[in-house]
Amino acid sequence: MINPEIFQAPTWARGPHQQTILARMLRPAPPIRSVRERIETPDDDFVDIDWSTLNVSDAPIVIVLHGLEGSSHSKYVRNVCRELNALGVRTLAMNFRGCSGEPNRALPYYHSGDTRDLILIAGMLRERHPRASIGAMGFSLGGNVLLKAMGESIDGGQALFDAAAVMSVPYDLAASSALLQSTHMGRIYSEYFMRSLRRKVLWKQNQLAQVLDMAAIARVRSIEDLDEAVTAPLNGFNSAGDYYTQCSSTTFLAEVRVPTLMLHSEDDPFLPSDAIPHREAERNPALRLLLTPSGGHVGFIGGTPWAPEFWGEIVAARFLAHRLKSCHRE
C-alpha cells in the first residue's frame, strides 16, 4: 500500500540518491554494548554474531541481517539494534560469512540466497531460549535471505520466527542487477560494492585459482560479472541468471506464514518499481507491504541535517517489538 502521509522526504533530502547517500553519511553509529560469539557450522566454517547485552530474562530476541558487504558494525544495523534495545528487545547482529573482519574458512562466500546459517542460528536460539519469542530484521540482501528462508521452510518459517521485518529488499535479483548496470548512478553504486568484493577475492585467490578461471575474474567489471565468474560456480548455479532465478525472494513470498513487515520505497535506485511484489503481498495475509513514494535504498531519512531521523528503523523496531511481546511461548 502507498501512504504518502507515512513518510515524506524533507526538502534537503529529496530524491532517491539523496536519500540513499545522505542516510549513509548522516546515520549515527550508536555505541552498542555487545558480546561476540563464534558459531561453528556443520561444514567446518564459522559465523560470528554480536549479542546486545540487555539483561532481561526471556525478553524477545531479534536477529539482524546486514546488506551486501555490510557487517554487524554497519550503521543501519547498530541503529536498529539501539531502537530495539530501547524497546526491551535483545538483538543478535549476524555477520554473513567473510563479513566479520576475517576470511571464512570454506571456499564459498555468502550470497543472496544462502539461508543455511540463518536457519542454524534461529534453531540455536529456539533451543537456548525456549520461552523467548524470536524475530528477524533484514536489510537489502539480508532481507532477501530472510524472506527466502521463511518461504522455503515447510511451515512458512513459523518454526524459525514469530515476526519479521525487511527493508529495501532486491526482490527480483535479475531486475536489480539490470537496473544497476543500466544507469550512471547504478554503476557508481556497483563500483562501491565491487571494491570490497574484489578484496575478498584477493583474500582467497590461491584457493580460488584451483577451481575458478582467474583470468575471467580479472575481467570482472560489474556485480553480475562477479556473480557469473565467482558466485554461481562456487555455489552450484549454472550462471548468474540461474542464481538470480533460484534466489530471488519474490518466488518465495507466497509461502511465508510469519507476520512480516516489508518496508520499501517506490524510488529505490536498486530495484525497478515494476519489480516490487504488490500482487504477492496482496495475496498473502502474513505480509504487509508498506510502500512509500520516496526513501531511496535503506534511506528513509527525515528530520533535519543537524538532527536526522531514520523512519525505517523506528517503524521496523516498533513493529517487531509489538508483535514479539504479544507472543506467549511456554
Encode 207-221 in three state secondary structure: HHCCCCCHHHHHCCC
Using a cut of 0.85, tell me whether the model's pTM lies above it: yes
| Across 219-224, average pLDDT | 90
Residue of 133, 168, 268, 294 with catalytic role: 268
pLDDT tier for residue 135 given thresholds of 50, 70 and 90: very high
Please report, as a single letter, which amino acid is at residue 288.
R
In this structure, which topology does domain 11-171+249-325 adopt according to CATH? Rossmann fold (3.40.50)
The label of the residue with cell 558487504 reads: 69
Q: Provide mean pLDDT across the span 191-200.
A: 90
**Residue 5 burial (CB < 10 Å; 0-12/13-18/19+)?**
exposed
Asked whether 324 and 89 are in contact (CB, 8 A), the reply is yes
- Provide CATH 3.40.50.1820 ranges for the chain: 11-171+249-325
Catalytic residue among 140, 153, 176, 294: 140
Q: Which H or E run includes 177?
A: helix 173-182
Taking all residues of the chain, what is their mean pLDDT, rounded to a whole number? Answer: 93
**Max intra-chain CA distance, the chain:** 57
Whether the predicted pLDDT of 108 surpasses 50: yes
The pLDDT of residue 246: 98
User: Does 140 qualify as catalytic in the annotation?
Assistant: yes
> Of 119, 155, 141, 138, which is closest to residue 244 (Cα–Cα)?
141
As a whole number of Å, the CA-based R_g of the chain is 19
The DSSP element (H or E) to which 64 belongs, if any, is strand 61-65
Catalytic choice (66, 111, 264, 297): 297
In the chain, the percentage of residues whose pLDDT exceeds 70 is 97
